[in-house]
Chains A and B, each alone.
Chain A
Amino acid sequence: MIRLHHVYKNYGGGTDALIDITFSVARGEFIFLTGPSGAGKTTLLKLLYLAEHPTKGQVFINGVNVSTIRERKIPYLRRAVGVVFQDFKLLNSVTVSENIAFPLEVMGMPRRDINKQVMRVLKFVGLQDKYDAKPLELSGGEQQRVAIARAVANEPPILIADEPTGNLDSELTMDIIRLMNYIHKRGATVIMATHNKDIVERFHKRLISLGRGRIVG
């Protein structure tokens, strides 16, 4: 489903953010991507949702080599990858429902179906009564769940989450992990970056550890 082959990423500075990364992820796997801050987790995930391109090496998603893909096709590949961004990337000027509707509108879903699906995922993350709130009126944990709801709204086969428990207390963290687990059970391939050792130890999942841009375990 996902395969990286000797991937390097350099942002233009002296040191590489990613060095010789090779691994593959099968359909339906749940993977923790760990490593200290600055190890290259976000960079690696960005390669997977095509926000960055590898300096060297190849990235395959659904069998498609993303470095040779036609620019016109990129949006369609992105629709197969739901992303929970480290900084949420919610649009604060519109409501929660409108935020969650984005990926559905992008697919060309009719308005009525969009409304139904938005309510369904809001219920799924337990925010059905916040549909009309603006993101800034919500707590951090609630915003995080909105971000997750948006990422899974169009039921993508791949879910990428960049430190989705970043600054939540342990109880909310468990809620989020349970949610991710549930999404995984429903068939999605999940890759979740975290630097939280407790989570990694508590849930026994496949682990990819990064250190200074290299895979260290």
Chain B
Amino acid sequence: MFFVRVSYYIRKALSNLRAYPLVTGLATATVAFCVFIFCAYLLFLINVTGLLTGVGKTVHLAVYLSDDIDEKQIEEVKDAIISIKEVSEVTFTSKEEALAFLKESFGEQTGVLEGIEDNPLPASFEVALVEGGQTPENTKLVADKIGRMKGVDDVVYPREWLTRFNEFVRFVRAAGVAVGLILSLAAVAVIANTFKLIILSRRQEIEIMKLVGATNSLIKMPVLIEGMLVGLFGSAAALLGLVFLFSYFMDHFYETVSLFVGPVVPAFFSPVMIAAVIGASTLLGIVGSLLSFGRLLKV
């Protein structure tokens, strides 16, 4: 009995798809369109956020050491810095290395440095922070902590820039979520309406089925399967389209764009993300088709 039922549901769903090709085709196209728009936006947002995170990672603290500390003390300071939990990496630059670097950057014009007898450059640490730890508050906290250490002369970081940058990132995130929310609500509304269309095209059939003694689940299940298939194929088509668009962009426009954004390579959705999009769309198909019945089953 159970298998008879299930095979009926599936057969019925498939024969419905065949009996109403226009409506189901339209519904699938609508789902595909909505998912496409939403995913294109999501992809854009993910890459912009990724780009910003990359930029944020370049924030370092420069810790200048006083000239009168010995190597053992330097080691102690380094250990102390590393033990701060927001710190991810510490690189040491000795006085000599600093000078060599300076000379190298001036290149030909070493004459500028000729007159200098003593090396005036301090030894320093370059301190990188852990991912997500680059907020202005965090950075200031770490800077203050290091500044209080014995043997540390000065801690320098782009305070103003960091504050502005973080405000910008926060704005992008908030706007991104807001626009994404509006987009997904619009998509859900549009998709719900197309499912309404599916149900309305079946109104007569549903009435007849009720009158010959169909239970509600018998009427709902095939439509639920249809909704599921529409959601599944709609989102798959959308993602396929997006893959093509993405690779087209990478082939033809990325080189130009990369001049402005640096060498960050845009990423497509991860497999998990793809599965999530298809899963969500399929679920939306199921829920959407069920909700569309509304009062229609009351006879």
Contacts and interface: CB of A to CB of B under 8 A. Distances in A.
Contacts of A109: 4
B84 to A, nearest CB: 66
Interface stretch (A11-19, A89-97, A167-175, A201-209): A89-97
A78 B212 contact: yes
19 contacts: A49-B211, A51-B299, A72-B215, A75-B210, A75-B215, A78-B212, A79-B212, A83-B211, A89-B204, A89-B207, A102-B209, A103-B213, A105-B12, A106-B212, A106-B213, A108-B1, A108-B4, A111-B7, A111-B8
Which one of B15, B204, B212, B215 has the highest number of Cβ atoms from chain A below 10 Å of its Cβ?
B212
Nearest to A85: B211
B4 A106 contact: no
B164 interface: no
B19 interface: yes
Nearest to B1: A108
Nearest first, the 10 closest Cβ-Cβ pairs linking A and B are: A79-B213, A78-B213, A103-B212, A106-B214, A75-B213, A75-B215, A93-B19, A110-B4, A106-B213, A102-B212
B159 interface: no
Given A91-B204, A93-B19, A94-B19, A106 B209 contact: yes
A146 to B, nearest CB: 12
B16 to A, nearest CB: 10
A203 B211 CA distance: 29
Contacts of A77: 213
Category for how many chain B residues contact A: 20 to 34
Contacts of A76: 213
Interface string A107-119: 1111100000000
Category for how many chain A residues contact B: 20 to 34
Contacts of A85: 211
Nearest to A93: B19
B148 interface: no
B297 to A, nearest CB: 10
Contact of B211 (A51, A72, A94, A111): A51
A198 to B, nearest CB: 29
Interface of B is mostly: helix
A93 B299 contact: no
Given A91-B205, A107-B213, A108-B4, 9 more contacts: A51-B299, A78-B211, A79-B212, A85-B211, A89-B211, A102-B209, A105-B12, A106-B215, A109-B4
Interface in A112-136: none
A93 B20 contact: yes
B142 to A, nearest CB: 66
Interface in B166-214: 204-205, 207-214
Interface string B271-299: 00000000000000000000000000001
Interface of A: 49, 51, 72, 75-79, 83, 85, 89, 91, 93-94, 98, 102-103, 105-111, 150
B220 to A, nearest CB: 13
Nearest to B205: A91
Contacts of B150: none
Which one of B11, B208, B218 has the highest number of Cβ atoms from chain A below 10 Å of its Cβ?
B208
Contacts of B209: 102, 106
A83 B211 CA distance: 8
A64 B110 CA distance: 108
A91 B76 CA distance: 87
Interface string B11-27: 11001000110000000
B5 interface: yes
Nearest to B297: A71
A59 to B, nearest CB: 16
Nearest to A83: B211
Interface in B1-57: 1, 4-5, 7-8, 11-12, 15, 19-20
A72 B214 CA distance: 11
Contacts of B218: 75, 106
Contacts of A83: 211-212
Contacts of A102: 208-209, 212, 214
A120 to B, nearest CB: 17
